[in-house]
Amino acid sequence: MKVFNINDYKDIHQEQDTVLVLGYFDGLHLGHQALFKEARKIAEKEGLRVAVLTFPESPKLAFTRFEPDLLLHLNSPSERLTRFEAAGVDDLYLIDFTGEFARTNSTDFIDQYIHSLRAKAIVTGFDYRFASDQKDGHYLKEVFDGQVIVVPELDMDGKKISSTRIRQAILSGNMLEANRLLGYPYDTHGIVVHGDARGRTIGYPTANLALLDRVYIPADGVYVADVVIGHQTYRAMASIGKNVTFDGTELRIEAHIFEFDGNLYGQKISIQWLDKIREMVKFENIEALSQQLEDDAKIAREWQA
């Protein structure tokens, strides 16, 4: 996959004809994947490349009052690229959604961007809107001289699959639902750093994760998790919270990794959040905490999708 960071349409030098997929694609969930499936079918039939025009940050930043959560993502930048490539994208164009870009009307957007990207076919979602006059895929069918596919709403449990719904599931700790909607396990990447080393003294040493990316993290609690170290995946139990038993004040992300004995300090790992075991609880003593950790470990080891 080729990746192009562009400032405007003048930076586009597409050499081959494309089927163009349009949208923001935070998370590349099952609904998004349906668009790329359609694009790949057209590309293979017509001998086209799959191209995407999208944004590194949320377009909402150009329209709404700033809140820190607007800078959070469902995927890290590197994971997002990996998922675009896995979805069959050949040419990925990233452009900042600036105020100037937002003022582009639909006629200019088609002339400047869609034509520059040599689109012979376009694939959008049912709720896609573009340009300052907020046109949709059905409008494109009227004015674009190629094939336009508007992929209908994809539902699960009677409700639309959406990035908003996935974010809500993650923030409430419902990783089962988040992962079903995504079509893959939601994960958090980071680097292993030194913590308080209390877990080691009670038989449950943990890898403490420092986040490397601006991503959503699950609600406080203890989870069944898989930890990816290099090319190996290990079952684990992981926690997010302030370690209230020891009157902690800083949010910690920790994972006790089963069947692993090694030094991970300074190493990048990924925690895949599978299911929530329980809420964070303040225990009266170390003995009560140790017994609960033993119960948590049994659940995590035996958990199956």
How do residues 171-211 score in pLDDT, each as one tens digit?
999 999 999 999 999 999 999 999 776 666 667 889 999 99
pLDDT bracket for residue 282 (50, 70, 90): confident
- The residue range of the domain holding 104 is 2-160
Q: Average per-residue pLDDT in the chain? A: 93
Angle at 179 (CA atoms; ends 260, 128), nearest 5 degrees: 140
pLDDT of residue 200: 64
Residue 4 near residue 92, CB atoms below 8 Å: yes
**Same domain, yes or no, for 124 and 232?**
no
Please tell me the least confidently modeled range out of 21-25, 200-204, 281-285: 200-204
**Same domain, yes or no, for 145 and 213?**
no
Assess whether pLDDT exceeds 60 at residue 244. no
**Same domain, yes or no, for 142 and 13?**
yes
- Its pTM stands at 0.92
Distances (CA, A) of 34 to 91, 95, 154, 214: 18, 23, 8, 26
Is 217 inside any structural domain? Answer: yes
CATH number of the domain residue 274 falls in: 2.40.30.30
Based on the structure, what is the number of domains in the chain? 2
pLDDT of residue 281: 84
Assess whether pLDDT exceeds 60 at residue 104. yes
Work out the number of other CB atoms within 10 angstroms of the CB of residue 181: 24
Nearest residue to 87 (alpha-carbon basis) of 59, 57, 54: 54
pLDDT of residue 226: 98
**Same domain, yes or no, for 138 and 213?**
no
* Close Cβ partners of 172 (under 8 Å, ≥ 6 residues apart): 219
Residues in the chain: 305
